[in-house]
Structure 1
């Protein structure tokens, strides 16, 4: 495992539900974590304490020595937003597959039928993807898609505008049309903990403007969406994310995935990736 993998920050627990001690895996290595006397801690198998960050309602850590702070989501500090800890789901797939699925627009009508998409509205309009070199993040903008129910707060179908942001290889943020507040963005993030190369724990998190839904309703809505994705993720072959362009043929709608895979290769992040055809 190279430093390009070890030196990133990874989510390992919810701050609102942190026990005194819990065992888990990170990048195939056992770690312990918990809260003791009001202070959070994470230790590796040798008992050595690891660096920690508390942000977005989650505890983050690294097996290496991160050369930059954990990314920020400024909208999380906007007055009136409701910050939603969705919980976590373990998925038998590559952590990179989990991120890429989150970036995939074309599957909405077929996997999230009558919620995030519906036939015959299946066309993905042309959009833009770039790597923002100043922050080394992948951004997809000008993404538009018709959705029967874009959010728990939505009433009726609307054409939803999206922006996708890949902040780290295993953390991605979605900005989308906010039905109750035109001109604002709802924020939905997917933080992925790589347990192993083919098994991950996914921690969704949201920052929403929604004064009508209960917290339980917002959590339930997002959990429904991800559980629909889970069966697709666990049946993808190969389990690891192919980085060889010849292994899976992309379409125009897959532009974000294409740029994401190229970016992973450029930064040398291969944990959970299949680099050559088997």
Structure 2
């Protein structure tokens, strides 16, 4: 599966505490826990003994315990204890096939392959920018539908009227698409926005730059014309839960050091919850890469995204 070449966000890092947590990625179930050193661990959510969900169990001294017969597994997946046979040393065949779980951008990322690539977010290294996460949002839409919406400028004056756009400024200027090794960059984008961010007090033109950094991740840079020096870097991280359901986070990197976390989250929440009902209404729920939907010149970024998915061999959440 091509999608296994990419790491996928599954949980806020702070949300993994003393209890195991169940997550779902690409239609498969996994259990997350922390070992006795506090290191996050992951494995398929299925005990090899009788197929019980390990996420229904508990964590004991960093070992995950099955709720059915009490079998325990350490962070490396080895079965270390079978209560019914306390003197028995379980062989390797009784263990779990674990997955790497890494931490970045305030999230835990599941690696289905050892060499799975985690998408970059260059703004993370900029100490001048304030960072925080917004989400997660559970959305009844495929991951590609959500990413395509994030890359789309033409909906601002309708879905986000009075916020990111208005009907009187719906026309789009030409913008450029440049392929990259991991996706593409859309530059030269401009939009008239009544309120481009929480601190803006009047409408202005805003320069937009989009970068697709993996099949289910994109980064937006916003530079408002009337807020000299202001900059937003917003990463969209989408976990493809099932073919038609997703979990969404936004990683905000901002020059806004005046607003509270709650105020920033409330602004981004307003914007995304305007998008969400539209996304959940789309049919088909999976993004069609072939026929079935018509296009116009304003859909340049959408066309580039669909072409990238098709050329990359992505099949999860799309229709051929």
TM-score when normalising by structure 2: 0.80
| SS of residue matched to 1:13 | strand
Q: Which of 141, 146, 156 is the matching residue for 2:202?
A: 156
CA–CA distance in structure 2, aligned partners of residues 154 and 176 of structure 1: 12
Equivalences for residues 237-276 of structure 1 within 5 A:
237-244=283-290, 246-275=291-320
CA–CA distance in structure 1, aligned partners of residues 182 and 112 of structure 2: 21
Q: Which of 83, 101, 118 is the matching residue for 1:52?
A: 101
Equivalences for residues 64-79 of structure 1 within 5 A:
64-66=113-115, 69-79=117-127
Q: Which of 116, 123, 126 is the matching residue for 2:171?
A: 123
Runs of 4+ that moved beyond 4 A = 178-181
CA deviation after TM superposition for structure 1 residue 253, in Å: 1.4
The answer for the alignment partner of 2:42 in structure 1 is 42
Structure 2 residue runs without a partner (length 5+): 47-95
CA–CA distance in structure 1, aligned partners of residues 162 and 203 of structure 2: 9
> Which whole-Å deviations, capped at 9, do the CAs of 1:156-212 have from their partners, x for residues lacking one?
111001111111101111111157963563111110011100011111111111122
Matched, 1:109 2:157: yes
Q: For the aligned residues, what is the CA RMSD?
A: 1.6
Structure 1 residue runs without a partner (length 5+): none
**Stretch of structure 1 that moved more, 193-202 or 42-51:** 42-51
Say which one has the larger Rg: 2
Aligned residues: 269
Q: Which has the higher contact order (CA 8 A, sep 6+)?
A: 1
Residues 181/36 of structure 1: CA separation in 2 closer, same or farther (3 Å cut): farther
CA deviation after TM superposition for structure 1 residue 138, in Å: 1.5
TM-score when normalising by structure 1: 0.92
CA–CA distance in structure 1, aligned partners of residues 257 and 299 of structure 2: 35
Matched, 1:83 2:131: yes
| SS of residue matched to 1:234 | helix
CA–CA distance in structure 2, aligned partners of residues 180 and 208 of structure 1: 16
| SS of residue matched to 2:249 | strand
CA contact (8 A) 1:130 1:259 kept: no
The answer for the alignment partner of 2:6 in structure 1 is 8
> Which whole-Å deviations, capped at 9, do the CAs of 1:87-128 have from their partners, x for residues lacking one?
211111111101111111111110111000012010111000
| SS of residue matched to 1:212 | coil
CA deviation after TM superposition for structure 1 residue 39, in Å: 1.3
The answer for the alignment partner of 1:233 in structure 2 is 279
Residues 180/24 of structure 1: CA separation in 2 closer, same or farther (3 Å cut): farther
